[in-house]
Structure 1
């Protein structure tokens, strides 16, 4: 009898150990491919961007400003990954992507899609006073080892439209509730072009937690995330975020300052989080 009890306890412990496997997630505005960037143009840094994701062992990485050729480069560099996302200017391959790459050897896609940050979110459209079309791409994933469900949302808010940023925040919160149906872990990340004390960020924080503020281990390295390729000046603004639902524990948070030859790999710094699911 005692042996049976011990066997059951060991089995339950083993299941718990599997369920606690952390997820390494990186969000990174990789800067669009434009020849006007000179020595910082994409062809000179694409290998470093891929190496960063690989070195930090990302299970999921979310990119902003990625043009079709950049998406192709990343897909070629990560054959074990699949992405969810479309070009914002035609819903296919035209314009910037806000895509979610995930390791398909660890995760199975259950659902996914893209909506536009506008009052007609199902149509390729401009929203409110935005200068550009903006999107949010999302994917519902099942961890193949544990069966746990994770919803990842990735976005890039407009850099000019104040109304657009406010309305975008509310739209995304509404869509998160609709898509997740109140169950399964949620991660929202991206370049929000907003300071932490702004109204739209406060709105998001009314439903989700800023990973920077709730990480169990003190935030590592840089707090700010935007620097504009100025290596010798400290990054100026924290405008890139990861938000999580109640059932996601943030074990680590870092604003990564990886560089080569005194040059960063983008005009933003990537944010790395180590996440763990929490049973409610």
Structure 2
């Protein structure tokens, strides 16, 4: 009898854990800015397949990078089930942005903002040795079903400035620490323009978990995330990431780099990173 009671308690504990855990599908996607010089790979040729891909995988939350205002509008119109936060790096409705899209039926935004990766992050500015303005957009999302909260940060580090990438990432981590005083789970994603061997990425792994390395299932798809629209060449450059706060509160069930194509064309010059996580 005693043994049966113990078994029931263990079973109840496991059930309670699974009931408390929330499963989410997360995606980060550098969508390639809308520029006419891309020719047959420009946004007008890609947007329908791009939004169709998002419709199919149906992430609960996804972050985009390099999104021009018209691209943000195109995504919002094609996928009305999502709300979004974030502004352009040149100001509201100007320049590329790193928006966070979220499923409106699942989440309510409690807090959100965009800051610049610079010495003056609260005003439009360029930082350190960067080639252009860079931003990070964040949101505190509340799950409307169980009231659980999670922070999401989305960014695009500079493609030229070594110091700007390092200092920008340090700024983001300090902002996370300042905002997350109640220690909610955190997602940090984006195009970091840094390979895993870079010192800044190694340092980041000491503070947060790389979703690829802690996935319970073997990572699916190609290793690299930057394809440069070159369909017939292997993709080996990994620069897009989804990082998660350390601890038992967040686990990764699946990790994938999605290399979907149509008519030998990719929907962007980056592949999206897609993960399924549990968080408490």
Match of 2:274 among 261, 272, 275: 272
User: Given that residues 142 and 149 in structure 2 are in contact (C-alpha distance below 8 angstroms), is that contact kept between their aligned partners in structure 1?
Assistant: yes
Q: 2: distance between equivalents of 1:250 and 1:54? A: 22
1:63-97 Cα offsets, whole Å, 9 max, x none, are 0000000000011012121111000012x010001
Report the 3-state secondary structure (helix = DSSP H, G, I; strand = E; otherwise coil) of the residue aligned with 1:45: helix
Could you tell me which runs of 5 or more consecutive residues in structure 2 were left unpaired when the two chains were aligned.
1-8
Report the alpha carbon displacement of residue 203 of structure 1 after superposing the two structures with TM.
2.0
Could you say if the C-alpha distance between residues 222 and 186 of structure 1 is closer, same or farther in structure 2, counting changes exceeding 3 Å? same
Q: 1: distance between equivalents of 2:33 and 2:19? A: 38
| Equivalence map 1:126-145=2 (5 Å) | 126-145=126-145
1:156-201 Cα offsets, whole Å, 9 max, x none, are 0000000101101110110011111151110000000001010111
Residue in structure 2 matched with residue 188 of structure 1 by the alignment: 188
Q: 2: distance between equivalents of 1:89 and 1:198? A: 28
Q: 2: distance between equivalents of 1:108 and 1:12? A: 29
1:30-49 Cα offsets, whole Å, 9 max, x none, are 00001111110001111111
Alignment of 1:55 with 2:56, yes or no, is: yes
TM-score calculated relative to the size of structure 1: 0.93
Q: 2: distance between equivalents of 1:178 and 1:140? A: 13
Match of 2:261 among 248, 259, 263: 259
Residue in structure 1 matched with residue 4 of structure 2 by the alignment: none
Residue in structure 2 matched with residue 5 of structure 1 by the alignment: none
1:201-238 Cα offsets, whole Å, 9 max, x none, are 12211210111111110100111000100000011300
User: Given that residues 169 and 203 in structure 1 are in contact (C-alpha distance below 8 angstroms), is that contact kept between their aligned partners in structure 2?
Assistant: no
Could you say if the C-alpha distance between residues 10 and 207 of structure 1 is closer, same or farther in structure 2, counting changes exceeding 3 Å? closer
Q: 2: distance between equivalents of 1:257 and 1:270? A: 8
TM-score calculated relative to the size of structure 2: 0.93
Could you say if the C-alpha distance between residues 213 and 11 of structure 1 is closer, same or farther in structure 2, counting changes exceeding 3 Å? closer
Report the 3-state secondary structure (helix = DSSP H, G, I; strand = E; otherwise coil) of the residue aligned with 2:99: strand
Residue in structure 1 matched with residue 103 of structure 2 by the alignment: 103
| Equivalence map 1:51-90=2 (5 Å) | 51-90=52-91
Q: 2: distance between equivalents of 1:53 and 1:150? A: 22
Q: 2: distance between equivalents of 1:220 and 1:182? A: 34
Residue in structure 2 matched with residue 27 of structure 1 by the alignment: 28
1:97-156 Cα offsets, whole Å, 9 max, x none, are 101000111011110101100010001000000001000000000111121111000000
User: Given that residues 31 and 66 in structure 1 are in contact (C-alpha distance below 8 angstroms), is that contact kept between their aligned partners in structure 2?
Assistant: yes
